[in-house]
Structure 1
Amino acid sequence: MTIEVRKKYLNVGSFLLGFGFLGALDGIIFHQLLQWHSVVLSPDRTIEIISDGIFHFAVTITMIAGAIILWLGGKPTDLSKGIRYVISGLLIGGGTFNLIEGIVNHHILQIHRVRPDAENPLLYDLAFLASGAVLLIAGLLIRKTVPKLVDGKR
């Protein structure tokens, strides 16, 4: 396998793993622990449980796919900037999840808000988007600017 193919596997695998992981955190924290919302808000609790189940299944499959692709890429430390690709990919994937989920579900489709029962639900939605932007920007900065010492190479 060429170096370019391995880099692509590291990038794609870590992106999918980060995307799925942030989705799982969203489901665990906001849907289950805090019970602020479900994927589809409905007076029928069965619909909420089914929509959350489908969501959790999808993010689990995404994490598994990311882990397999990452594994196929081989040991990140064998490549120049390999660790950088993995860390930045995780952050970029997680930030992308928050931005897509926030923009599509909270604003365009309006199927739920982060915390619909809050005094100012828009504030929670904007904070969710801001967290996605911070993760995405951090991932992009790490990919471009972290010194090579992070990768164990000079």
Structure 2
Amino acid sequence: MRTKIKTRFIHIGSFVLGFGFLGALDGIIFHQLLQWHSVIMATNRPGQIISDGIFHFAVTITLVLGGILLWLAGNPTNLSKGIRLLVGGILIGGGTFNIVEGIINHHILQIHRVKPGDPNALVYDLSFLAVGLLLLIIGIFIKRSGRTQLTSINA
């Protein structure tokens, strides 16, 4: 397979895998272990369980799709700076999940908060966004450092 196609699969696959991975962590930590919230809080218990089930199903599909794309890309060590592209893409995807989910669900739609009912609920929501932004910035830095070195190698 050509290098450009493999690189594209690593870019897309790592983003999708990171997006799904942070979604899975959100579901496991906040929905199940801490039981702070469900996807849709303003329903009865069966509605909350169904909304969480749909969320977990979508996250699982996202993880599988990311895995398939990375499998199609092949071994990232066969590409110059392939590991940096992989790790950076996973962090960018994860950060994007937190930012998108936080802005849409916590602030725009207000279907749940990170820790609803807590007097510091806004602090939890903003911290969730800050973690997403931090992951995104670190991921971009890692990917760009990989690209810069890749460009200097080919120059």
TM range (shorter): over 0.9
1:46 maps to 2:46: yes
Q: Which residue of 1 aligns with 2:153?
A: none
For 1:106 and 1:42, the matched residues in 2 are separated by 13
Q: Provide the secondary structure at the position in 2 that maps to 1:64.
A: helix
Q: Report SS of the residue matched to 2:35.
A: coil
Report the number of matched residues: 148
Which residue is 1:95 aligned to? 95
| Residue 136 (structure 1) aligns with | 136
Measure, in 1, the Cα distance between the counterparts of 2:123 and 2:28.
21
C-alpha offsets along residues 15-59 of structure 1, whole Å, 9 cap, x if unaligned? 111000000000000000000000000351000000000000000
Q: CA RMSD in A?
A: 1.2
Q: 1:24-103 residue pairs with structure 2 within 5 A?
A: 24-103=24-103
Cα distance, 1:144 vs structure 2: 1.4
After the TM superposition, list the runs of 4 or more consecutive aligned residues in structure 1 that deviate by more than 2 angstroms.
145-148
Cα pair 2:9 2:72 within 8 Å, conserved: yes
Deviation track 1:61-95 (CA, whole Å, cap 9, x = no partner) reads 00000000000001100000100110001100000
How far off its partner does 1:120 sit?
Answer: 1.6
- Three-state SS of the structure 2 residue aligned to 1:4 is helix
| Runs (5+) with no aligned partner, structure 2 | 150-155
Paired residues of 2:42 and 2:111 also in contact (CA < 8 A): no
Code of the residue aligned with 1:138 in structure 2: it is I
On the 8 A contact 2:95/2:132 being kept in 1, the answer is: yes
